[in-house]
């Protein structure tokens, strides 16, 4: 167990206002949680592994299997009435670079960027079993000015995801996610390239471009529900190539069906969503587009969208938009 040594190294870096903490190879560093302070470079050598202990919280190799067993009953160990940890969570950070590393076996979300700015994530591999509960790849949450590129993701839930807080707390906190680019990424298992469902502080100016997906349960995905509030606006999916997908295009404000309408501040909105040069081959379902009566999806634009599916349309209601040069245009937006 290396927890004390690892924490002492990072504390030494903090005391001199930054430095490099090296995990040298070969070696497996078994550790609980540790904090990284400002101006610190964490260098994990090739053939070195930071492995989370089930007696602590997850790190680079989160040793997630024990945690997945208590996903639906947090009274079981090792949860012991606590929620599962994220693998790497950075809070209120600025000028962050994460590159050339593998992150795997996360107890829950793998990389969580919470209220961060000026972040560059590149050449990172994310791997969680496809059935690992809530094992997202990257969650950009209440953050801005973020670029994620040249990454490979094979995970158990949303692969690339933008969030901005949940319900009343998210709206009160009021930190929108904005100015975010995901480009040149490869995705295998997972639940798609996603906005939401937690988006209560608002999300705007997000671009997914040059992304390939193979065997993903969802492709292009935006999701929210009554009670969230917040506005998602100016989102672009461009040059997206998919094959062997569950649902190719899934856009819903009715994520949990059957919820009753609520007040105006808790009614979510999707506006100005563009899909351009999007193709999907051999999917189960082509389109699921599902607004709500009090908040139709507005200005949904499909441009050069080509979808091949066993069932081309699942749901299409409460949406306003247009199609141009598409192999199929859902009837509700013609």
For residue 185, what are the CA distances in angstroms to 69, 206, 212, 217? 30, 15, 7, 17
Q: How far apart (Å, rounded) are the C-alpha atoms in residues 201 and 212?
A: 29
CATH code for the domain in which residue 201 is found: 2.160.20.10
Calculate ∠ Cα 325-330-334, nearest 5°: 70
Weakly modelled stretches of the chain, pLDDT under 70:
54-55, 57-60, 334
Q: Show the domain range for 301.
A: 158-333
pLDDT for 56: 72
Token readout for 187 is: 């995705």
Using DSSP's 3-state secondary structure scheme, residue 67 falls into helix
| Site of tokens 């050069």 | 304
- 244 touches 213 (CB < 8 A): no
- For the chain, the domain total comes to 1
Using DSSP's 3-state secondary structure scheme, residue 65 falls into helix
Closest by alpha carbon to 116, among 137, 97, 135, 131?
A: 97
pLDDT for 58: 34
Question: Does residue 130 lie within any of the structural domains?
Answer: no
- 114 touches 90 (CB < 8 A): yes
Q: How far apart (Å, rounded) are the C-alpha atoms in residues 88 and 106?
A: 9
pLDDT for 331: 87
Token readout for 334 is: 């013609």
Question: Does residue 271 lie within any of the structural domains?
Answer: yes
DSSP code of residue 10: H
Question: Does residue 23 lie within any of the structural domains?
Answer: no
pLDDT for 52: 84
Using DSSP's 3-state secondary structure scheme, residue 7 falls into helix
Q: What is the pLDDT of residues 225-277, one digit of tens each?
A: 999 999 999 999 999 999 999 999 999 999 998 899 999 999 999 999 999 99
Question: Does residue 175 lie within any of the structural domains?
Answer: yes
Question: Does residue 241 lie within any of the structural domains?
Answer: yes
pLDDT for 55: 65
Question: Does residue 129 lie within any of the structural domains?
Answer: no
pLDDT for 282: 95
Question: Does residue 102 lie within any of the structural domains?
Answer: no
**Contacts (Cβ under 8 Å, ≥6 apart) of 265:** 171, 229
pTM (two decimals): 0.92
Token readout for 215 is: 């065997």
Pairing assessment for the beta strands 218-223 and 193-196 based on DSSP bridges: parallel
- 275 touches 220 (CB < 8 A): yes
Pairing assessment for the beta strands 193-196 and 94-104 based on DSSP bridges: unpaired
Question: Does residue 29 lie within any of the structural domains?
Answer: no
């Amino acid at each position: 167990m290396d927890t004390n040594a690892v924490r002492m190294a990072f504390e030494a870096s903090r005391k001199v206002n930054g430095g490099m903490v090296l995990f040298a190879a070969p070696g497996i560093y078994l550790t609980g949680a540790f904090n990284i302070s400002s101006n610190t470079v964490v260098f994990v050598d090739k053939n070195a592994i930071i492995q989370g202990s089930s007696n602590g919280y997850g790190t680079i190799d989160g040793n997630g299997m024990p945690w997945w067993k208590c996903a639906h009953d947090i009274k079981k160990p090792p949860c012991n009435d606590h929620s599962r940890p994220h693998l790497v969570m950075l809070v209120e950070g600025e000028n962050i670079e994460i590159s050339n590393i593998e992150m795997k076996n996360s107890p829950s979300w793998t990389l969580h960027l919470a209220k961060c700015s000026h972040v560059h994530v590149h050449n990172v591999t994310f791997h969680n079993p496809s059935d690992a509960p809530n094992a997202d790849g990257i969650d950009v949450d209440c953050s801005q000015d973020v670029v994620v590129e040249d990454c490979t993701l094979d995970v158990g839930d949303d692969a690339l995801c933008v969030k901005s807080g949940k319900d009343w707390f998210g709206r009160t906190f009021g930190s929108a996610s904005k100015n975010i680019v995901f480009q040149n990424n490869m995705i295998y298992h997972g639940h798609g390239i996603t906005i939401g469902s937690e988006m209560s502080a608002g999300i705007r100016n997000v671009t997914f471009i040059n992304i390939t997906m193979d065997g993903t349960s969802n492709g292009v995905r935006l999701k929210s529900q009554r009670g969230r509030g917040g506005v998602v606006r100016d989102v672009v999916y461009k040059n997206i190539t998919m094959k062997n997908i569950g649902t190719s295009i899934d856009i819903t404000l009715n994520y949990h069906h059957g919820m009753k309408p609520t007040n105006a501040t808790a009614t979510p909105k999707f506006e100005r969503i563009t899909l351009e040069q999007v193709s999907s081959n051999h999917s189960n379902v082509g389109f699921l587009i599902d607004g709500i009566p009090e908040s139709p999806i507005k200005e949904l634009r499909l441009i050069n969208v080509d979808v091949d599916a066993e069932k081309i349309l699942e749901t299409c209601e409460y949406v306003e938009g247009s199609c141009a040069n598409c192999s199929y245009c859902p009837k509700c937006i013609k």
